[in-house]
Structure 1
Amino acid sequence: MDSTPGLFELRSPDPWDARQVQALAVLRSDPLSLMAPDWAAALAPQENTLLSLGKMLSKEYDAGTRFLPPPTRVLRALGTPLANVRVLIVGQDPYPTPGHSVGLAFAVDGATRPLPRSLNNIFKELQSDLGIAPSPHGDLSAWANQGVLLLNRVLTVAPGAAGSHRRRGWETVTESVISALAARNQPLVSVLWGKDAQRLAPLLAGTAVIESAHPSPLSASRGFFGSKPFSRINELLRTQGSAEIDWALPLI
C-alpha cells in the first residue's frame, strides 16, 4: 500500500467529520475493502462477523455515542499486508481516552501528551534493552512500516469505558488474524504481554513466541522490566533469516 494519507492515516487524532461517517458506512457494508488485499482474502471467512461489528458500531453512532479509534482507523493495523508482517505484538483493547487510540496497539498520535503509562514503560524497557532513549512521542508507525503488527485483541472501545467492546465478536476476528500469520511459512516472532495475550499461544504453536508480564504499571515490575523483548525479537528474526527491526523512532 502506498504512503499517501488515506483511510489509514489522519492528520488529527479524532475528527468525526464527513470522512469518518463515510468510513463508518464502509465498516458496515464492505469492511474487507479497508484492509490490504491479502488480509481481505485471509479474513473472508470472518466477513459476516465484521459486518455485524460494523452494524454494532453504526448503532452506537446513531444513538449519539462515539467509539475509539475513529472509523478510519479501526482496521488500520491490517493496512500493512499480511505478507509483510514479521513481528506480532498483541495488545488488549484500544486506549479509552478520547484522542489516544489510533488503531495500532500501544501507539498514540504523535501530538499526544502525556504518553500512556504502558507506552512509557515500553520505552523504558527499550532503553534498558537496546540503549535507545525514550521517544518523546508515541507514534509507532515506523515500527508498523517495518512489518510489526501492533494488534489489539479487541479493535474498538467506548470512550472512558475500558473493555466495553469485549465479547462482541472482535476476538473471533483477531484470532483469525493470528492463525493466518502462524499458517504462513515466513519469518514471525510473536510477543504476548500479559495473561490475556498469552491465552493466544496455542494459535501460534510451532512459531517463535516471547511471553512476559504486561507493561501496565500494575504488572510491569513483575516480569516485564528486564525481559529484553526487543533484542530477543531481533535475535529470533536473525535465526529465521530475516532483517532486524530498527526500534528507534524518528523525531516528528
Structure 2
Amino acid sequence: MRMVDFSPVRFDQSWAKVLAPYESELKSIEKSLEGKITYPSYESAFRALTIPLEKVRVVIFGQDPYPTPGNATGFAFAVPTDVKIPASLRNIFKEYQEDLGRNQMPSSDLSQWSNQGVLLLNRALTYSPDGELSSDDWIPITNAIAQELGERDVVAILWGNDARNLRHYFRGNWVIESAHPSPLSAYRGFFGSKPFSRTNEILEKNNLPPVTW
C-alpha cells in the first residue's frame, strides 16, 4: 500500500492531490485538537483513506463518528469486533437482512465492505466530547473528497441530512439517499430504502462488478 505521511495522519498517496490544498486547514484542526480527546483519535481520522482512490467503487457518507469511547475506528459506522454493536449499525444490519434476504451479517468492523472499495466516511472525521472542534471544521475537506469521487464511477450512499447535502457532487442516478440509520430517524425513510441491492443495480447497469455485501 502506498502511504503518505501527512504527520500525524497517514493515507494512501492517491488522496494527496485531494487533501494537499487543505494542508493549512488540517494543521489548524490538528493544533486545536492537540492534547484533546477525540473519537477516533486524530491519528486514525483518515483510516478510511487507506483505500486507494482509484479502487473506490462506493462511498457511504454518514454524519459524525460514534461518541462512545472505543467505538469509532476511522471507518464510518464500523466498530471493533469486540464491542457492543451500536444502535445505528444494528439498524444498518437490519436493513441489510431485509434488503438482501440474508440471515448472516458481515463483521462489525465492516472490513468486508472496505476491502472491496466501499469507502466509509463521515462528514466530520472526529468527534470532540468537549466541543473543542465543530463538525463544520471538517466540511471543506469532506466536500473536496465528495467532489473528487463525484467525477468518477462511484455510487454515493448518503445517510442523514448532513450527508445528503453532498448529493450535488454526484450524478443523480448514482445517488442513493435516505434518513440516517440512527434510532431517531431510521423509521423516517432509512428502513426500506434498499441501499445494498440498489447499489449493485447501478454498478451492474454500468457494466461494473457488484459488491459482495
TM-score (norm 1): 0.78
TM normalised by structure 2 equals: 0.92
Structure 2 unaligned runs (5+)?
Answer: none
Say yes or no: does 1:147 pair with 2:128: no
Aligned residues: 213
- Report the counterpart of residue 94 of structure 2 in structure 1: 124
SS at match of 1:43: helix
Distance 1:69 1:82, change over 3 A: same
Instruction: After the TM superposition, list the runs of 4 or more consecutive aligned residues in structure 1 that deviate by more than 2 angstroms.
Output: 132-137, 161-165
Which structure dedicates a bigger proportion of its chain to strand?
2
Q: Which amino acid aligns with 1:189?
A: V
The residue that corresponds to 2:38 in the other structure is 67
Structure 2: which amino acid aligns with 1:166?
A: S
Percent of pairs with identical residues? 48
Aligned pairs (5 A) from 1:42-191: 42-58=18-34, 61=35, 65-113=36-84, 115-133=85-103, 135=105, 137-159=107-129, 165-167=134-136, 169-184=137-152, 187-191=153-157
* Contact 1:124 1:134 survives alignment (8 Å): no
Amino acid at match of 2:117: G
Q: CA RMSD in A?
A: 2.3
Matching of residue 41 in structure 1 with residue 22 in structure 2: no
8 A contact 1:212–1:227 mirrored in 2: yes
Give the deviation of 1:135 after TM superposition.
3.1
1:26 aligns with 2:7: yes
CA contact (8 A) 2:32 2:133 kept: no
Unaligned runs of 5+ in 1: 8-22, 248-252
Amino acid corresponding to residue 96 of structure 1 in structure 2: P
